[in-house]
Structure 1
Amino acid sequence: MAVVTTAGLMRHGEEAWSHDDSSFRVFGADERDLVVGHVSMNFDRSGAALDRNVFYPVDRLAELAADGVIGSVADRHISFMGALRDMDLLSTIILDTGPAAAKILRDDSVDAVVITPVCPACSRTVTVLGHVLETAGLSTVVLASNMLITERARPPRALFCDFPLGRPLGRPADPLFQRRVLEAALALLDRREGPVLEVFPETIEDDSDTPVACVLPPRYDPATPAAVDEARALRPAWERAQSKLPATQVGRRIAPADIPNAVEMMLAISHGARWSEVFADEDEMFQTAMDIRMYYEETAFGLADHVPAARSAEAWFYQRTETGKLLRDVVRVLRESGQEEELGLMALYYIVPLSQYDGSDRANPPWRRDDP
């Protein structure tokens, strides 16, 4: 058995994924130092930072193999990046990269594949991959996060799990729960006539409105901008958090030591600099925002005494910290200066996720306005 995920996995130091990347990357089952390089902000990141099995369940599969439930775990697994803004890129997956990924899996003698999404748009990509891999002779089961898309796309087999986006196996650091989800999904492989769509009986609520309880440090240098000073002051907590994590998720564009400098770049935009004067391209700006966010969310693990609920670390960052407020201010400036149109209708949701907006933005997001 193998895992195919749309989480945009990458190794530290590799080129970051872009918005229009329909390629895939291959990883060994024993690789641990991996980053979720997915471009979207709009899913929980904390679960993946704490436990890769919440979206990439290679350890759970190894346990099932040891218990004789499955034969063995594949030596190699595959990641796509599921948030493709250009729908034509799905055709590339159908005709080119999907069959190429299937050939690698078949060459490795893989029989069956678990396919996992993370972001809202991933639901399209995983259902497409279900069809493509099945056509190539692999048995597939999708852990579905969006019921409407799954019903319309009709993948060969899918288990709908009503969990927060970014946590398709439900609960990080809970092997027993993850195993129940995986066993329920694998049971669908016995169903040869499809499409098959079942619902996992338990649900887990998102907590995007409730910040995790974290005490922020006092100002170090009142002469330094508050967000920059805060990022520097939090470095000891970030380092303390690393003992709890399999690998840091900071590093798409910015190294942890350079986070204060990245905050200064965002500060320049909030003070009136055009985004194109600060960053080489929009992907660099979005990935920098993601690295800043993950530095703070990992810091929350060093400040909190429990596993945060889905998106509660995100809420703490955007609602309680100076740097989170700065990114919200960057979005405001980009809108008021007309740069939002230059970047694209949905672009600013790659700086501040939809869950952290109020009013019409949250109730009527852009993809519902222009893509009914």
Structure 2
Amino acid sequence: MPKNIKFVALLALMSGLAPISIHILLPILPEIEKEFMRSSGITQLSLSLGLFAMAFSTIAYGPAADRFGRKPVLLTGLSIFVVGSLLCFWSPNIEILILGRVIQAAGGAAGMVISRAIVRDVYSREQSAQIIGYMMSIIILAPIFAPIVGAFITKLYGWQTVFICTTLIGIIALISTFLGYRETATIKTGVNFYNEITIAFPVLIKDTNFLAYTGYASFGVGMFMGFAGGMPFVMVDYYKRPPSDFGFFIMLIMTGFLIGTFFSTKITPLVGIDKMIGLASFTSLLIGLSMIVIILMGFKTPWAIFGPGALMAACHGLSMPNAQAGGVSVKPSIAGSASGLLIFIQMSVGACFAQLAGMLPSNSALPISILICSAAFLAFGSFTYLIKRKQNT
């Protein structure tokens, strides 16, 4: 573990706000659908539009953090997160709830982007992969328990109380960042903010290494969003389980990812970033194919999809820190912009998979398993193709 444990924990808190706000929402989606008497597709917008808001916000946060410094931009984003959480708590209808989720997600994106840029400010490329792995090991504990906490609180006090929890967590993150973080970036005075975007992003888009790491990371998130967006409804409609059971089973996915990130910090220095991603993504694809076979064989149990899913998550835990570290390290001078663009693409792809998952038939596990396996295939295929293309040029 790095010497400054408090520093890594603070980075994890910054970066963990958005995942917490997503995962604590998942088990209460059927309750929201029931209370507002809207379709699952409309209710799903509270998740998918939040992801899109998160994605588009990263476009601004990355260059802004390079231009104005990490701390002021981070504090602004955390404040927006708190406001959005309060609006969700107050929401009298689904439209206001969706608006609150959009604001909440837009604010939470600041921590996701800027925490990774801070890592690149302080650590080397190889060290960055290790530190992000440590961060993810801490971050993933929250989404492991967030669905269970969300379901438990909803059962006792109603789903609105969930957003009081996110408000309090946001306030803690805001105060901790204000008191515990000192600026790590060299602020680029005299540089036009618009030029930061128009110059940095084209440079990154033309970089094959950046596209390889981003492609893998994005479709990896798509796999998770397939679980998150579709399985709450499949659990109720197909497996005939109460919504609270989803909180237990999604914990298996998060635990698998946690185990993967733990071993990533040990194995990556031995084999290197690219080989780690290649091996893990190929293994994940094989497991995804086995999931489809198991379901086709007629095993009607949540274990048929969550068991292989946990193994796939472990593979992505091994490789996701490497992909993110690789993405923000291709151009160290614009690490903030790289982090922002990477997460923008990640969240956009994730939002598409989440909304698509919510629109699939929920009276069978086969459609959602095919979607999840497709994400694993695209993650492996995009990384392998682009890395080989780079090596051949």
Going by fraction, where is strand more abundant, 1 or 2? Answer: 1
Which TM-score applies when normalising by structure 2? 0.28
Structure number with greater CO (CA < 8 Å, separation at least 6) is 2
